[in-house]
Structure 1
Amino acid sequence: MTGNNTVVVFDFDKTIIDLDSDNWVLDELGFTDLFNQLLPTMPWNSLMDRMMNELHSQGKTIGDIVEVLKRAPIHPRIVPAIKAAHALGCDLRIVSDANLFFIETIVKHLGVSDCFSEINTNPSYVDEQGKLRIFPYHDFHSSSHGCDRCPPNMCKGLIIEKMQSSLAEEGNKKKKFIYLGDGCGDFCPSLKLKHGDYVMPRKNYPVWDLICKNRIQIKAEIHEWSDGEDLECVLLCLINTISMEEENKKLFSVDCKFETINPVVAHDALPQALSVPH
């Protein structure tokens, strides 16, 4: 199937949807001021769990949160881009510092749940009281993930390395990655990409600035995008490029039966009338 050697990894906030899902929920439900007041006192991920408790204690239900998430703004070309990449046989994945409940609610609402083979994000679940609990992807209370570029709860670079190792163990060393993101946390995974991979930073967003300042550290080809229309165009073009490269490799593989012709012998063997005059 076309494109089936391509792994496309999407960030979620400000990449698939056009804003930060955490901020969106808190803003829409009227908890922005409390969030901003508490933010200096604890890590973002821990604070989101605290805020879900505040929402619950003030009568906000899971249904209220779901309705807000369904209204999250998204560019009209994002869903077609996801569906097209999936139809071309790409392995689509999400790596996000949001949380599983928010992401699953939105992708289900958009009708693209089946397009993604995995979602790597902060775990969350609704407890017996009907309250959303949010936990860190990496339990930084017991140990550090060891990356000073990334927030304590998640290093996306380590997640990409885990994907690369897993594919290599399965014998899929030829898989090429396309990574799309916007934020500071998307710089570390961009550094883990290899020659032949592609990184798609959102132009004029934090990851774009970091990549521009550290281009020499990036092995992957860099292709920026500005909005959903750009994302669709660039992504499908890259998938097509990878597919064509694979087809060309098949055409010129070791199975090719043509003999190599010595250019000197070939020239000497030409009829005199066709020889290049000296």
Structure 2
Amino acid sequence: MGDSVFNCCYVPPQPPGEEEPHRSRRSEVTMASNSSKRFLIFFDFDETIVDETSDDQVVLAAPGQHLPSWLKDTYQPGRYNEYMQRVLAYLWEQDVTESDLRGVMEKIPATPGMLTLLQFLRVRRAQDFEVVLVSDSNTFFIESWLRHTGVRQVFHRIFSNPATFNRNGQLILRPFHSHDCPRCPVNMCKQAVVRDYVTHRTQERGRPFQRVFYVGDGANDFCPALTLGARDVAFPRKNFPMHRLITETHEATPGVFKAVTVPWTNAEEVAAHLKKLLAE
């Protein structure tokens, strides 16, 4: 990966996220295959893979499809995860079931061209791509959509806020981790997740990936993209916060943001760029 700043010496613990399956002969073969892949690509979920914000869409399961003002007024900047814990508790109190929540998630549309991009990665992931999802949504929302859409197998790992149902049928949301990054919400710094994962996988593989890609849209996708090197590629959704922050950084402090930047409005543009790189 040459001049990518992911080539660092920090040795992190096993990164958090969706648990790996128990080691077996099949998983050993899979790991050997993963070690030969050339490229690592990270995806955000809300407004990147899906064309809405899943936390906003879950409100459609509430009575009257809206939340009471007293609940909305409890939101504090940077503490959205805590706010969503209260939203999910309210929905449970209103007799919203697991099936209701899953049904809302399954109806969220994909962003334009995204299913074409994911199908391309499904075909090429065996030899070329390791695909990872990093999201400040939660595991239940994400898994519901991916499995319904038939693209779950594209993703090698999923890193998101844990969400599981308790014995009473209430969806319990927890923060992903704690961190000291001033740019990110208190429950997740995607840069920390990306750095630890790349370091861990580089050690496991015995060599770095040739290039790292990041596909996102939001302000919290700018933070991990800052760690990309000059051979890596950031794919910000055009005119969304990530794109605007990259543009502002280039103008204010040239050279700070190192990655090649390829804005997109349709995810087929991302697929086209990846195909071009494969042909090099």
- Out of 34, 48, 52, the residue aligned to residue 88 of structure 2 is 52
Aligned twin of 1:259: none
2:175 to 136, 161, 181: 136
Match of 2:259 among 216, 220, 224: 220
Q: Report how far residue 52 of structure 1 moved.
A: 1.0
Aligned counterpart for 2:116 among listed residues 80, 99, 119: 80
**Residue aligning to 1:94:** 133
Contact residue 112 and residue 267 of structure 2 kept, 8 A: no
**What corresponds to 1:22 in structure 2?**
55
Contact in 1 for aligned 2:78/2:186 (Cα 8 Å): no
Q: Say if 1:41 and 1:7 are closer, same or farther in 2 by CA, change over 3 A.
A: closer
- 1:6, distance to aligned residue in structure 2 (A): 1.2
Structure 1 stretches of at least 4 aligned residues deviating more than 6 Å after TM superposition: none
Q: Is residue 2:240 matched to residue 1:201?
A: no
Per the TM alignment, residue 14 of structure 1 is displaced from its structure 2 partner at its CA by 0.2
User: Who is 2:18 aligned against?
Assistant: none
Alignment length (residue pairs): 235
Q: Distance in 2 between matches of 1:17 and 1:199?
A: 18
| Residue of structure 2 aligned with 1:123, choices 162, 185, 204 | 162
Structure 1 segment 222-237 matched on structure 2, within 5 A? 222-226=261-265, 230-233=266-269, 235-237=270-272
Aligned with 2:194 (options 160, 181, 186) = 160
Q: Could you tell me how far 1:76 is from its partner in structure 2?
A: 5.4
Cα distance change, pair 175–127 in 1 and its aligned pair in 2 (3 A):
farther
CA distance in 2, matches of 1:165, 1:199: 19
Aligned residue in 1 for 2:182: 148
- Give the secondary structure class of the aligned counterpart of 1:94: strand
> 1:189 maps to which residue?
224
SS for the counterpart of 1:160 is helix
Distance in 2, matches of 1:95 and 1:41, equals 21
Query: How much does 1:40 deviate?
Result: 3.4
Structure 2 stretches of 5 or more lacking a match?
1-32
- Measured against aligned partners, the alpha-carbon deviations of 1:40-87 in whole angstroms (never above 9, x if no partner) come to 388210111111111111111111111111111223521121021221
Q: Take 1:77 and 1:224, find their aligned partners in 2: how far apart are those partners?
A: 14
The one-letter code matched in structure 1 to 2:272 is C
State the match for 2:45 in structure 1: 12
The higher radius of gyration belongs to 1
Distance in 2 of aligned mates of 1:105 and 1:20: 14
Per mean C-alpha deviation after superposition, the further-off stretch among 24-33 and 64-73 is: 24-33
Q: CA RMSD in A?
A: 1.9
In 2: Cα distance, 1:205 partner to 1:12 partner: 14
Q: Tell whether the 8 Å contact from 2:232 to 2:260 is kept in structure 1 after alignment.
A: yes
| Counterpart AA for 2:134 | V
Structure with the bigger RCO (C-alpha within 8 Å, sep 6+) is 2
Q: Tell me the equivalent position of 2:207.
A: 172
1:3-52 Cα deviation digits (max 9, x unpaired)? 93111111000000001000111144224344422213882101111111
Structure 2 length-normalised TM: 0.79
Contact 1:86/1:92, CA 8 A, preserved across alignment:
no
SS in 2 for 1:22: helix
Q: Which runs of 5+ in 1 are unaligned?
A: 246-278
In structure 2, the CA distance between the partners of 1:75 and 1:201, relative to structure 1 (3 Å rule), is closer
Listed one character per residue, the Cα deviations across residues 221-257 of structure 1 (whole Å, up to 9, x for unaligned) are 000012xxx2122x22332233233xxxxxxxxxxxx
Which has a greater percent of helix? 1
CA deviation after TM superposition for structure 1 residue 195, in Å: 1.6
